[in-house]
Amino acid sequence: MNTVLDLIEAFRRSQVLFAACQLGVFDAMPAAAPQLAERLQANADAMERLLDGCAALGLLRKHEGAYENTEVSERYLRSSSPDSLLGYIHYSREALYPMWGHLADAVREGTHRWTQTFGKEASLFHHFFRTDAAMRDFLMGMHGFGMQTSPKVAEAFDLARFRTLADLGGATGHLAIAACERYPGLRGVIFDLPRVTPLAREQAARSGAAERLEVVAGDFFEDPLPPADLYAVGRILHDWSEDRIARLLAKIYGALPDGGALLVAEKLLHEDGVGPAGANLQSLNMLICTEGKERSASQYTELLRAAGFAEIEARRTGVYLDAILAVKRTIEP
């Protein structure tokens, strides 16, 4: 029964987080409830209940009527933190939460819920890029997420033998940055849409490997890929159907030299499809949002072998994203 009750109440925990972030609570700490309510133009009693709820969830500490951030909220919930997840939290509140209300319809029809939730012109990427502010908010949220996962992906395999990594759909460049910071002989290219490149340049300039990082504008489906002996796709393949994945993998394979490789960063399902729970929930999220889904290591291996890759290895990283390295080998006649 406890499991069922926990699941029934799970959305309440999310909404406490969402509301506190929307109101700017964590940026305003430390504070007492009456003063914070006045500053944020909120009801004093209601604000105290929200703050106490945040404290009960481990997001705030309360002492003699005053509140302060915990280490977790200071790192991930302050807008000024380099690891802030606020952009992804706002996106989850504004877009994902209402779409998840139509999960049963998505299961019946097998299609995303953008149209049902937001109208016929809506789509995942249209929502991300509807304004420059929305785009930055989302990408910086994903940057905070990437700062936790990309270093582990970059160290999952020894990439020291490669000379140039081109991160396709690299967004803010967190994977290329992490790889170049780990491997001093590696040059990185962050390849993404023109509107994204200013933000990528901004983040790359902050890296200790900035002199080895380049930002190039382009669409990986439509434009020529930048030359590289190592390509990377992080949280890209799970967006698409098998047909579009096959198209992209064929393009990458054709651009690679012999001995070159593709680094894939995705959350891998167990082989029976059950677990890790985060991967199963993300697969349902992809149903809600896109034409894609999460896959197991063997399912990705099948797609990579069909594209021509000969040596394929998957590794668990211990963080939210896992890693696959697929090497191109030309077989002598």
Which residues are catalytically annotated? Answer: 238
266 vs 245: CA distance, rounded Å: 13
The tokens describing 85, both together, are: 């997840």
Classified as helix, coil or strand, 241 is: coil
Tell me the sheet residues that pair with 310: none
Residues 6+ away with beta carbon under 8 Å from 46: 37
30 preceded by a cis bond (ω within 30 of 0): yes
116 vs 122: CA distance, rounded Å: 9
111 vs 286: CA distance, rounded Å: 10
Burial of 192 (0-12, 13-18, 19+ CB in 10 A): buried
Element (H, E) at 62: strand 60-63
Residues 57 and 16: beta-carbon distance below 8 Å = yes
- Chain CA centroid to CA 320, Å: 9
287 vs 269: CA distance, rounded Å: 15
Query: H-type helices in the chain, by residue range?
Result: 2-23, 33-39, 44-56, 71-76, 86-91, 97-100, 103-109, 114-118, 124-128, 132-155, 174-182, 197-205, 242-255, 277-289, 297-307
